[in-house]
Structure 1
Amino acid sequence: MQAFDQIQELWQKHEVEVKVSADEMLQQVKKEVGGLKLKSALNIIAMLASFLSIAALWIFFHFESWTTHVGISITIIAIGVYTLILYRDHRLITKSDFTAHPHEYLNNLKTYQLNRYKLYNSLYWFYAIALSLGIVFYFVEILSFFSTVQKILAVGLTFLWILFCSTVLRKAVIKREKERIALLIEKFERLSEQISMPD
């Protein structure tokens, strides 16, 4: 029994190091970077679609109240600014080739990570407040055409949607993106170490 305990202790102390070749890791990194670029581009496309939809609403429908125009203006400006921020961050991860300039790309990725943290924390609240303010101004005229039940439903569902996006959805997105970018940075650092190590 003592021999078994010694073998078990030896086994627990033994660490197995999994070696992944630089080529395999490079393939993994390429896949991760491609996914990150695609997700970033899709975010920008969705924001542009929102911007164009609200602008079309403003152009093709006739609104009587000045509050509606103010509400739509605030909403369009908020979406426009947020889209520009997303585009700036997208350029960080697409402007340099990570295979040709791995250190520059790693620095850009770290800057991207920091920018995303700011975007989902302090900047997000400015965006959410601006959208909420825009919706309030927009609702002044629009809700006058609704019945009392429809008004309650419209305001209630809008409030619940903003609350859901600001809490549950935002936290899930932050967590997933934080883990994904941190893992990608770690892979880049390991890949750089493997490439710089002599055989």
Structure 2
Amino acid sequence: MDNNNIDFKDLWKKQAVSQPDMEDLLARLQNFKKVGLRCLWITNLLLFATSAFIIFIWIYYQPQFISTKIGIVLTILAMMIYLLVYNKLLGNYKNIATTQTNQEYLEKLILIKKKQQFLQTKMMTLYFILLTAGICLYMYEYASRMSVLGAGLTYGITLFWMAFNWFYIHPKQTKKQQSKINDLIAKFEEMNEQLK
């Protein structure tokens, strides 16, 4: 008999003793979906608002140096590229439905995990490189009007903050996200093994 055609959820429900575990797992899956969608929408809102604010600054203050304009373009480009790839997760989160089998849940979670890993590695690296270059180029026009100490402090604090985000906050968030999805995948794999 082909295991892909078995409705694990239906079989699991027939087991009176283990049913609460399945309900708990489905509740955790729905919570994972809800949190993922909320993060996606918040990220979209924040990055679009930030881009709009940057464009407002460009129009209102009319920077003179070409480096400032290139910096603005690179910063906005970093955010838009990241959002373009990040928003591809929307369909994956929305496709998690309560009518699916355990195998389908497992496949969706593995697909989300692969996309998250791509986002957390390659896309975040590109995002931070473009963002750092964009901010440094943007600040050059204003830093050139400061004293050497002022410009050094400005660049130093900015680069320290970006390094702190890259080396401390980013790995911590990545580990937290991976832990959540790995736990769900392990639970569904364990359930599938029990039903074999």
TM-score band, normalised by shorter chain: 0.7 to 0.9
Secondary structure in structure 2 of the residue aligned to 1:145: coil
- Unaligned stretches of 5+ in structure 1? 1-17
Quick check: 2:136–2:155 contact (8 Å CA) kept in 1?
A: no
Number of matched pairs: 178
Larger CA deviation: 139-148 vs 158-167: 139-148
Quick check: 1:78–1:130 contact (8 Å CA) kept in 2?
A: yes
Deviation at residue 97 of structure 1 after TM alignment = 4.0
Quick one: which amino acid aligns to residue 137 of structure 2?
A: F
What is residue 178 of structure 2 aligned with on the other side? 178
Quick check: 1:73–1:134 contact (8 Å CA) kept in 2?
A: yes
Quick one: which amino acid aligns to residue 43 of structure 2?
A: N
Quick check: 2:96–2:108 contact (8 Å CA) kept in 1?
A: no
Deviation at residue 109 of structure 1 after TM alignment = 2.2
1:93 aligns with 2:129: no
What is residue 41 of structure 1 aligned with on the other side? 41
Secondary structure in structure 1 of the residue aligned to 2:98: coil
Deviation at residue 190 of structure 1 after TM alignment = 5.1
Change (3 A) 1:25 1:124: closer
Quick check: 2:33–2:96 contact (8 Å CA) kept in 1?
A: no
Q: Could you say which structure has the larger radius of gyration?
A: 1
Quick check: 1:97–1:105 contact (8 Å CA) kept in 2?
A: yes
Change (3 A) 1:164 1:70: same
Quick one: which amino acid aligns to residue 167 of structure 2?
A: T
Secondary structure in structure 1 of the residue aligned to 2:88: helix
Q: Distance in 2 between matches of 1:119 and 1:193?
A: 30
Structure 1 runs (4+) greater than 6 angstroms displaced: none
What is residue 120 of structure 1 aligned with on the other side? 120
- Unaligned stretches of 5+ in structure 2? 1-16
Quick check: 1:93–1:105 contact (8 Å CA) kept in 2?
A: no
RMSD, matched Cα: 2.4
After superposition, the C-alpha distances for 1:148-175 in whole angstroms (9 at most, x for unaligned) are 3321221001110111111111110111
What is residue 130 of structure 2 aligned with on the other side? 130
Which structure 2 residues correspond to residues 33-72 of structure 1 after superposition, within 5 A? 33-72=33-72
TM-score, length basis structure 2:
0.79
TM-score, length basis structure 1:
0.78
Q: Distance in 1 between matches of 2:98 and 2:66?
A: 54
